[in-house]
Structure formats: structure tokens, C-alpha cells
Structure 1
């Protein structure tokens, strides 16, 4: 049960609110402080369930009541009632539930990644840039309950509000690691994980491969595909047969097809 340690802020010119606006808008500030904003009851709830440490909760009582606040399963935490103006200044979405939280980011270093199984299934995306694609990949990974998502050469920080929003909170439900391509390849080899690269070159149809062993499925961007380093170290390049005029599809769609084939094989093993 949350003990409400009540404060109130009504001015958008408040120094703390200005700091939160910086967290909302600037990746540099998120990385420097190790803090980020979460918006929405589902997202806040998933963050709590995912073991994220919340520093402060802010709520607009017209949309989110003290009773709802008291129902959150948390230890004592700083809680701030905010005005409509402050809420609208901080809120990223036009329609939301009147609650925000300031949370501490987690460590996502690839060298600290551990698995709870001997046959992990890992989804890896190299250099994804669009928050919407990253969010969709995280939703797919959550739906398939993969053992980890790894972002190689990340170009967008994980706590970008657009990623949190587009992932519908799945940034909090997945085990996520980041690193450069070489670090990740070295990590996979050290764990004897097979590397399956989604690529056009020297590829076989994805459903012909055995994904019941330790498996990493790697997808690249639609524009550039995967780097040569991945292709050099691939156990096997795989391809989704295309029956139309184009030779590629959205990266999150491709990831979903490949991951769920691996899940299908494992479910029927």
C-alpha cells in the first residue's frame, strides 16, 4: 500500500517541473541523470512489476484519484499532486489517465545479461532508429515471451517517451540488453547460441531451420539491412519468401514472423 507523502505543484515554472520537462524532451538529460518519465497507469504498473525503482509519482486528481493512487503496490514514495497546466506540460499523450512517474533507468550492458534457461531464444535488432519500430519489436518480444531482446548499436535511448508509448509498456516487461555488434557476437558465441540473420544473401527459407536449440534471430533496418560483421558470423542466413513486388517488409513484422516460427517449433518439440 502506498503511503501518500503529499506535496502539490501548480506552476509550470517550478524548477522541478522544468527538470522533468528536460527528461521528457532530451535523451542527454535522461542519460546524465539516470532518470526518465513514465506516463499512464498501465505503463506505471508494468514498470513496478518489472522491478523498476520509482522516485516520484505525480498525479492530476481530476483524472487520477487519491484512492487509485493508494491502490498502487509500492513502498513509501514521494507523491506530488499537480495542476492541469503542469500535467499538460509533462504529459506526452493527448489522452491519458492523469498519472506520471519519475523512474530510475536500469543497466542494460550486454556483459551483464543472464538467462534462466539453457536454450534461450533471443531477438536482436541492429541499429533500429525509429521509436515506433523499436516499440513494436518490444511488443512482439513480450507476446512471444522471448528470453531477451538485444539492441545492437542503439541509435535511440530505450527510455524515449515514444518507445515507452509505442511499446505500451513492454520496455518494462522484456529483458533488454545493448552493446555494439562485435560485443554481442562475442557474447552469443560464448553462450553457444546459434545466429540466424534475416538477410537476402546466401539465405534459406526461415521455416527450414531448427530453432529449438539456443537461438538468436537478428534483424536489421529496412534501408540498410545487417552489417557485414553479422553476415560473416551467421550460423545461417534466413529469408521470408516474398510473393509480391518488393523484397523486404517492416522490421517489426519480419521479427514477429521469425520469432513465432521459433516459438511454434519449440511448442511442438
Structure 2
């Protein structure tokens, strides 16, 4: 049966997932687009259902994906083009979305990492967070640990920017004191970044595994947090700008840490 009413209770609940409050209450989030949905399925991300608008779906790959998912017992919610467009976060929707279940890996359950993890302290921009997840996957890091009042990794902008890395990277949430306790117990070094860092990021020997610790876009790391790091590196700025975008800085440091090791 196809849902055609915008006032349908299921549709209203899904539409509410644009807001963090609803995502937190429902424990769910939306994944929009053929490629992100395919990545979620292939990575075994926990899903509640697929949402399909046959009028909009022209991809044979997407139809095969839906058939395979349904054959495995997955739930399919069929909706009209108008209903799907009311759920979509972008123009010209492709007609395929998934409803994912929010999942965090408890800090003690993080699997061993050959390189390490990225620690984001109170990062505010979901696009930055999604881009960092994507870069962490590309650079060989095992995941991202969110500390304090961070943005939501399941925000539509973060999901979109991660380009599927959200489903392959481990994501943990914790407090700064608990992070320090865990790191010390497992003898994992903390490498911070600051314009006051003692070492040029290119002239540094990076330990393994490591926690690459980055502060918020506006404030960076506090003096207390920098003091707790085993090593603090800086990225030289040669022009008038005094800082880089957080996701850009994270990418530079991740690849340098991987290269030097």
C-alpha cells in the first residue's frame, strides 16, 4: 500500500527526524539518497526500514538494492512522490531513503586501532563532523570520539557530508574526565592541536595508537585540555588567516600522523 497523505502519523514521525530532539526521542534518523542507503546496507548499519517513492526512482541499482533488502526480511515503506519530497532534505530527491537506528559504541568497547581515533571536543558544525568522519575513514583512523556538547553525527548535514563513513566508523560519546581515564588505562597518547603547540606538525613523531584531539571551531582546546595532552602540534599559518577550517585541519593532521608512522 502506498502512503499518499502528508498527515499520515508515520510520515509525520519521519518528518520530525529533521530535528535533533525528535531523533533523540525516537532513537532514529534519516539516510537519504541511493549511495548513502547502499553504504548503510553494505556496512550492516542497523535500519528500521527503507522509504521508497517509485515515481521518483529511476535507478536499476536502487531497485536491485530494494529487492535484496526486502528478500532479507527488511521492511519497505512505499510513499508517493509528494510525500517523499516532504521528507527529503535536498532538492530533486532520488526516491530512496532509509530510517536508521542511532547507535554509539561505548568507549570501553572500542576495538583496537592500528592508527587511532579522532577526538572532537564540543564540535559545533555537523558538516565538519561528517567531513571528519569521511576523512578519518580515508586516512585509516578507526573512528571518532565525541566529547562534551557536540553537534549530532546523525544530523542530515553530517550524514550527507560523511558520504557513508558514518556507517563504517566507530562513534563514541564521553566526557573529558572519562576520556582521560580510558586513555591512561590503555596507554594511548593524546596529541592535541593548537597555534600555541610546541611542535610543527611536520616535524613530529606521532605515537601509535593515538588520540588526535581537536577543539571546537570557535574556542579550540582549553588550557586544561592542552595540558593533559602528551604532545601538542601546530599548523603554521603563512597568510593573513590565523586558523584553518576544523575539517581541513583535521585532514592535514590525520594524513601526516599516518604518513609519519
TM over 0.5: yes
Q: What's the CA shift for 1:146?
A: 0.6
Partner of 2:150: 155
Alignment of 1:1-269 (within 5 A): 7-23=1-17, 25-64=18-57, 68-72=62-66, 73-74=68-69, 75-115=72-112, 117=113, 119-266=114-261
Asked if the contact 2:81/2:95 (under 8 Å) is kept, the reply is: no
State the secondary structure of the residue aligned to 1:12.
coil
Residue by residue over 1:220-251, the C-alpha shift from the partner in whole angstroms, topping out at 9 and shown as x without a partner, is: 12321102332121111110111112321111
Q: 1:154 to 1:69 in 2, by over 3 A?
A: farther
Moved over 4 A (4+): none
Asked if the contact 1:212/1:265 (under 8 Å) is kept, the reply is: no
Question: Where do 5+ consecutive residues of structure 2 fail to align?
Answer: none
Q: 1:65 to 1:245 in 2, by over 3 A?
A: closer
RMSD (CA atoms): 1.8
Q: 1:87 to 1:263 in 2, by over 3 A?
A: same
Q: 1:140 to 1:154 in 2, by over 3 A?
A: farther
Q: State the distance in 2 between where 1:237 and 1:71 align.
A: 46
Question: Where do 5+ consecutive residues of structure 1 fail to align?
Answer: 1-6
Asked if the contact 1:222/1:249 (under 8 Å) is kept, the reply is: no
State the secondary structure of the residue aligned to 1:36.
strand
Q: State the distance in 2 between where 1:217 and 1:22 align.
A: 34
Q: What's the CA shift for 1:196?
A: 0.9
Asked if the contact 2:124/2:217 (under 8 Å) is kept, the reply is: no
Q: State the distance in 1 between where 2:63 and 2:202 align.
A: 48
Asked if the contact 1:111/1:187 (under 8 Å) is kept, the reply is: yes
State the secondary structure of the residue aligned to 1:71.
helix
Q: State the distance in 1 between where 2:59 and 2:121 align.
A: 43
State the secondary structure of the residue aligned to 2:55.
coil
Q: State the distance in 2 between where 1:114 and 1:94 align.
A: 38
Q: What's the CA shift for 1:39?
A: 0.6
The alignment covers a number of residue pairs equal to 257
Residue by residue over 1:157-190, the C-alpha shift from the partner in whole angstroms, topping out at 9 and shown as x without a partner, is: 2211111112222211211111112211221121
Q: State the distance in 1 between where 2:8 and 2:217 align.
A: 43
State the secondary structure of the residue aligned to 1:238.
strand
Structure number with higher helix proportion: 2
Give TM-score scaled by structure 1 length.
0.89
Q: State the distance in 2 between where 1:204 and 1:244 align.
A: 19
Q: State the distance in 2 between where 1:248 and 1:156 align.
A: 21
Partner of 1:4: none
Q: What's the CA shift for 1:202?
A: 4.7
